Amino acid sequence: MAIFKLAALDGTVSMVVRARCISCARAVAVEHAGPEGTRVWRDSSLSSVELVRETDKTALILRAEWI
């Protein structure tokens, strides 16, 4: 499955999900919506979806920091 980054266009919230397609990514975001509610993830004029990686690998480093 692919990895998608969803972000509210107003910059208030974002999430990374694993899903088969863009519509599926929005559905996953709706299922796991927090206090922002589900509307932001359902409405493409309120949020964006970006394909991060399409792969069959089981792991991906999303963020790394040097100390």
Any domain includes 65: no
Number of structural domains the chain divides into: 1
Any domain includes 67: no
Identify the pLDDT of residue 45. 96
Q: What pTM did the predictor assign?
A: 0.77
2, 18 Cβ separation under 8 angstroms: yes
User: Rounded mean pLDDT of 25-43?
Assistant: 93
Residue 55 pLDDT greater than 90, yes or no: no
Any domain includes 63: no
- Mean of all residue pLDDT scores within the chain: 86
Q: pLDDT grade, residue 40 (50/70/90)?
A: very high
Q: pLDDT grade, residue 24 (50/70/90)?
A: very high
User: Rounded mean pLDDT of 26-50?
Assistant: 93
Any domain includes 40: yes
- Burial annotation 44-57 (CB, 10 A radius, 16+ → b, else e): eeebebeeeeeeee
Any domain includes 42: yes
Any domain includes 61: no
Which own/partner contact pairs does 28-32 have at CB distance under 8 Å and 24+ positions apart? none
Any domain includes 62: no
Q: What is the extent of the structural domain holding 20?
A: 2-54
Distance CA 66, CA 39 (A): 37
SS3 call for 27: helix
